[in-house]
A and B are shown apart, each in its own frame.
Chain A
């Protein structure tokens, strides 16, 4: 492996590690102000939703809200199960089975 490539990796590693490490380090040393605590309480819900929506609505860089988007169709069918079961692993398995069946039927 040439030296330049290794330097590239070290640079990438550093700029990735610092944002992962610094907030946890700084915030663990002091008491977090209450308004920041409230703010951070909303982060999990908003991040999960911000990750989920594009992953099922955007296919090949385009919004696809039609039955040809099997990821979206599967999500709609899986959602009630996910809400009822509150079980991550079973939801994933159920969704994977549904999408395989849909892909068979539709294509």
Chain B
């Protein structure tokens, strides 16, 4: 590893800090629900290792508690995670530049949060693949471990809300949004996307709000250029 790659690795790990702050309490919470649904720490851990998608895992665990059929759980997981299509498409030019060989590996780690941080950083500066490894793998490990610990020791974990952890992810999204808003047009786009997202959350079941709001708003943005 060159010096530059080492620096980028450390930078990636540091940039994962807010994601870890957000994932750990949510992972604990999922673990507690999973234990209630009758899953062992190993079963929860395997799910986190293989699927690694917070909202889909919450839905899967609640469907397991309700004794839903496995095909229904898989179909729901698919729909809830379709928004990753957009993230993957947006990251593709950077992935291509950084390392085409690693695409099958690094694309596994795309989540709402890892996308948000990496797309902001990759737009700002040239980074090597080690940055992505540092950011993505650190976030991944924090999720897997916290869901396992939550399942095993859920009842012993103190109330993380009292410590302000519930603001970690909203705070991170806000900071990243501020870095992206560079003119009035971007501010306008942000307002429309936010309003549409809340609207779709109400009128449509099943986590369609993010993908629909983002696609419609990005189309409005393109049309405004003409």
- Which A residues are within 8 Å of any B CB, using their own CB? 1, 4-13, 15-17, 19-25, 27-28, 32, 35-58, 63, 71, 74-75, 78-79, 82-83, 85-89, 91-92, 94-100, 103
Alpha-carbon distance A42/B209, docked complex (angstroms) = 16
Q: Are A55 and B218 in contact (CB under 8 A)?
A: no
Given contacts A9-B46, A20-B110, 19 further A-B contacts (CB under 8 A): A6-B46, A12-B47, A22-B85, A23-B88, A24-B88, A24-B107, A38-B225, A43-B86, A43-B214, A46-B214, A46-B218, A48-B180, A50-B213, A54-B198, A75-B171, A82-B171, A87-B175, A91-B172, A99-B167
Q: B104, A52: Cβ atoms under 8 Å?
A: no
Number of A-B contacts (CB under 8 A): 271
Q: Is the CB of A51 within 8 A of B173?
A: yes
Cα distance, A19 to B207, chains bound together (Å): 15
Interface residue ranges, B against A (CB under 8 Å)? 14-15, 17-18, 21, 40, 42-43, 46-47, 50-53, 56, 60, 70-71, 73-75, 77-78, 81-93, 95-96, 100, 103-104, 107-108, 110, 112, 115-117, 119-120, 123, 161-181, 186, 189-198, 201-202, 209-210, 213-214, 217-219, 221-222, 225
Contact residues in B for A27 (Cβ distance below 8 Å): 89, 92-93, 96
Contacting residues, chain A, for B88 (C-beta < 8 A): 19-24
List residues of chain B with CB within 8 A of the CB of A45: 177, 180-181, 186, 189-190, 193
By beta carbon, the residue of chain B nearest A25 is B103
Q: Which of A11, A23, A25, A91 interacts with B175 by CB under 8 Å?
A: A91
With A21-B88, A21-B103 as given contacts, are A88 and B172 in contact (CB-CB < 8 Å)? yes
Residues of A within 8 A of B192 (CB): 46
B70 adjacent to A11 (CB under 8 Å): yes
Q: List 12 A-B contacts (CB under 8 A).
A: A1-B40, A13-B51, A15-B81, A23-B92, A27-B93, A28-B93, A28-B95, A39-B222, A49-B197, A51-B112, A87-B175, A103-B164
Assess whether B222 is in contact with A35, with CB atoms less than 8 Å apart: yes
Given contacts A12-B73, A45-B177, A51-B210, contact A40 B167 (CB under 8 A): no
Q: How far is the CA of A25 from the CA of B88 in the complex (A)?
A: 9
Known: A12-B51, A52-B177, A88-B172. A44 touches B116 (CB 8 A): yes
Asked whether A79 lies within 8 Å of B194 as measured between CB atoms, the reply is no
Chain A neighbourhood of B190, CB < 8 A: 45-46, 48-49
